[in-house]
Amino acid sequence: MYALLRPLLFKLGPETSHDLVMNTLGLVSKSKQLTRLCAMLVGAESRSRPAPPQSVQAMGITFPNPVGLAAGLDKQANACNALHKMGFGWLELGTVTPQPQPGNPKPRMFRLPEHRALINRMGFNSVGLTQFVKNLEQADPEIIKGINIGKNAATPLNNAIEDYLIGLRGVYNHADYITINVSSPNTRNLRDLQQDQALNQLLCALNLERQQLADNTGKYVPLVVKIAPDLDRRQIESIASILRQNNIDGVAATNATLSRRSVEQHALAQEVGGLSGTPVQNAATEVIAALYQNLQGEIPIIGIGGIDSPESALQKFEAGAKLIQIYTGFIYQGPGLIKTLLDAFPQSARHNIFAKPVETKR
Ligand SMILES: Cc1cc2nc3c(=O)[nH]c(=O)nc-3n(C[C@H](O)[C@H](O)[C@H](O)COP(=O)(O)O)c2cc1C
């Protein structure tokens, strides 16, 4: 089905086709019948239900299967029901910013089909927290949802903590886990929040606030930090120890890369933004492996970056990921990629791919 649809969608500009698909899925999500029909069309009707061999326990959550949707596709939490029915084990929604903001000027998304890659400089186009939560309330409560939070472009980096605290409080009751995005390349200086002191201050404030929220609501929501692929070993080592110190429950590795090494010759290579898809595959896997070396399974890793086949998924698991997410591969291959990955996993489970040490639950 997607094989028929893709050539038509790829005739449109990347953001136009993205908006068309997401608006359609948004409408589909409003109707149970249409959502079911959509699932039937992609042959995924029952995949999102817990299936023991494929379910994964992490951060105190049972994920029905280890393949999640990466952040940035459904930034408004508008199409949850339809996306879920395509077979994802869970959805990461957002990035949402406290106030609505338009993001960077268009064009800001580019296809590099020769490399099965995208470059984007969306810049956190966001409906803002209030509308995001309203949308989220329309989603099936059974869907496992990670909510990815960021800061507004107009907020100076010195005040970033306040934006993340607003995000944390705003989505707390609606999230199964919350991802702190400090790795988007498209918000000025955001990645500086990955530096030791800044990261420690941010996570310390968020952890304290989370304790308060957990006490007040009786609900503990795990915190995940999403990091960039463009980090050296020393940075990864110190990030790992800062995550430990601040009771962070998970780490998502990685976001898109600033490197253009593998696409240098491409006409669009010099477009500013994050490069995702196949070209980020190895860098992301290396970050996961280095993280795992430091964390030893104590904090679970969500592996992201260039997953486009069972082999590339297995590389992430072998490097130490407990769960994986896809974005660019999903754009190029559609929902069929979820099925391809899941069909490969019973075999991988037999090969003990999931047998990395289990983290201690807090
Ligand atoms: C168009 C686009 C928008 C994205 N927006 C976000 C975002 O808002 N927040 C975020 O954490 N990651 C965002 N990402 C990064 C993805 O979640 C993912 O980490 C990255 O693309 C690597 O995975 P992939 O190679 O499977 O795409 C975006 C990626 C793309 C291509």
* Cα three-residue angle 97-103-104, rounded to 5 degrees: 150
Classify residue 95 by its DSSP letter: E
- In this prediction, residue 362 has a pLDDT band, given cuts at 50, 70 and 90, of very low
Predicted confidence (pLDDT) per residue in 44-84, tens digit: 655 555 455 789 999 999 999 999 999 999 999 999 999 99
The model's pTM: 0.95
Is the pLDDT score of 306 beyond 90? yes
Percentage with pLDDT > 70 across the chain? 93
Q: Which atom of ligand 1 is nearest to the CA of 304?
A: 23
Q: What is the pLDDT of residue 50?
A: 47
Is any ligand 1 atom within 6 A of the Cβ of residue 146?
Answer: no
State which ligand 1 atom lies nearest to the alpha carbon of 308.
26
Cα–Cα dist 345/342, whole Å = 5
Spatial contact of 56 and 322, defined as CB atoms under 8 Å apart: yes
Active site residues: 184
Structure token pair of residue 137: 């309330």
Q: Could you tell me the two tokens for 219?
A: 């609900």
SS3 at position 302: strand
In ligand 1, the atom with minimum distance to the C-alpha of 329 is: 26
Indicate if ligand 1 lies below 6 Å from the C-beta of 306.
Answer: yes
Given a cut of 90, whether residue 156 has pLDDT beyond it is yes
User: What distance in Å separates the CA atoms of residue 223 and residue 250, rounded to the nearest whole number?
Assistant: 6
Indicate whether residue 120 lines ligand 1 (CB < 6 A): yes
pLDDT tens, position by position, 82-118? 999 999 999 999 999 999 999 999 999 999 999 999 9
Query: Domains in the chain, ordered, with CATH?
Result: 2-350 (3.20.20.70)
> How does pLDDT run across 204-262, given as a tens digit for each residue?
999 999 999 999 999 999 999 999 999 999 999 999 999 999 999 999 999 999 999 99
CA of 301 to the centre of ligand 1 (A): 16
Cβ(123) – ligand 1 distance below 6 Å: no
* Pocket-testing residue among 255, 263, 287, 324, ligand 1, by greatest number of atoms within 8 A of Cβ: 255
Q: Using the structure block, give the residue that is written with the tokens 């430990």.
A: 244
* Confidence (pLDDT) at 39: 82
Residues 16-27: tens digit of each pLDDT? 999 999 999 999
Cα gap 198→76, rounded to integer Å:
28
- In this predicted model, what pLDDT tens digit does every residue of 264-278 receive, in sequence order? 999 999 999 999 999
Any atom of ligand 1 within 6 Å of the Cβ of 70: yes
Task: Yes or no: say if 183 and 224 are a contact pair by the CB < 8 Å rule.
Answer: no
| pLDDT on residue 139 | 97
Average pLDDT over every residue of 114-124 = 98
Give the model's pLDDT for residue 186: 96
pLDDT of residue 52: 52
- Judge if the beta carbon of residue 136 lies within 6 A of ligand 1: no
Structural tokens at position 319: 């490097």
Strands (E), 218-339: 223-227, 250-253, 274-277, 301-304, 323-326
Tell me how far apart the alpha carbons of residues 328 and 152 are, in angstroms, rounded to a whole number. 24
Measured in Å, residue 22 CA sits from the centre of ligand 1 at 15
pLDDT at 350: 39
Q: Which of 103, 148, 124, 109 lies closest to 325, judged by CA?
A: 148
Strand partners, 178: 147, 223
Give the pLDDT confidence score for residue 45 in this predicted structure. Answer: 58
Which of 195, 148, 154 lies closest to 174 in space, CA to CA? 148
Average pLDDT, the chain: 93
Q: pLDDT class for 360, splitting at 50, 70, 90?
A: very low
**How far apart are the C-alpha atoms of 284 and 305, rounded to whole Å?**
6
Distance 30 CA to ligand 1 centre (A): 25
